[in-house]
Amino acid sequence: MTSRPLAISAGDPAGVGAEIIAKAWRALRQDGPTFVVIGDAQLLASAGGGVKVRAVTRPQEAAQVFPDALPVLDIPVLSPVVYGRPSPSHAPQIIRWIETGVGLALSGAVSGLVTAPIAKAPLYEAGFQFPGHTEFLAELTAAASMVGARGPVMMLAAGDLRATLVTIHTALAKAPSALTTEAIINSGLVTAQALRKDFGIAEPRLAVAALNPHAGEGGALGREEIDIIAPAVEALRALGVQASGPAPADTLFHPEARARYDGVLCMYHDQALIPVKMLDFWGGVNITLGLPIVRTSPDHGTGFDIAGRGIARPDSLIAAIQLAAKIAARRGV
């Protein structure tokens, strides 16, 4: 494991972020991975059921503190928090927590960033211009991005299933028109690169899902497979990626099918998220590929309906922390 801590941005203060962070610390405090939270120290202490919190001024202090207290880079919220009631007034601090985490990761002060869930609607009310976390992180890291195929590409991982998306936060009605051969090629290249670099798979096999039922039935149910997806698969093969498809999505996710590939490229949001959450609803992880920093997050939302009740499960956050540490170690950061 890397010697530098991970950073966790605290997410929406009205949600379950602080609670699951405290529970993750309790689960990992003895064996790690070590992390430092960017958020409101007082809120973390209260939401965490009285968990011991210690404010730190630098991430390097986290390792010494971590076995005994939850280390926090304290950036307090500026208005009262009511659990379950998100407010645009919290947006500046939520954004600042994320920006701080990205800056620390880019500088090498932390080995990666794990982001607790945010709610987009109150951020939009405050003028936030990005569809979600993923796109915001891409903008913040753009100046340091790698040359060639790049993200953001969203991957959802659960068990032996690694599913990436060509279109991310796109309305279903708009997803077909948003698909391009170039976007599929880029997503496939980024996915293959991540499977090698971040997951240690020397010769990754990539399955490519069709968009339409029965892979378009030879064009009778849509021509996207013929005109857009199949040419992308051929181009990926020509570029050295072991790609297959387009395959009907309803044949790709049972155990025998998953054994034939290392990652599956999906055309729209729920095509990937439904099978991932069916496989492991509580333990799925969201990974952003193609960024110059390591970024993971829990595969769930803010949990406003259960916030403040002490019943939120930290499984997905714990899995996200552990996976971020493994990826950082493979990258040597």
**Is 134 annotated to bind ligand?**
yes
**Is 286 annotated to bind ligand?**
yes
**Is 295 annotated to bind ligand?**
yes
**Is 90 annotated to bind ligand?**
no
**Is 251 annotated to bind ligand?**
no
**Is 169 annotated to bind ligand?**
yes
**Is 277 annotated to bind ligand?**
yes
Backbone dihedral angles phi then psi of residue 260, each to the nearest 5 degrees: -95, 0
Per the annotation, binding residues for a divalent metal cation are 169, 214, 269
Per the annotation, binding residues for substrate are 133-134, 277, 286, 295
Per the annotation, binding residues are 133-134, 169, 214, 269, 277, 286, 295
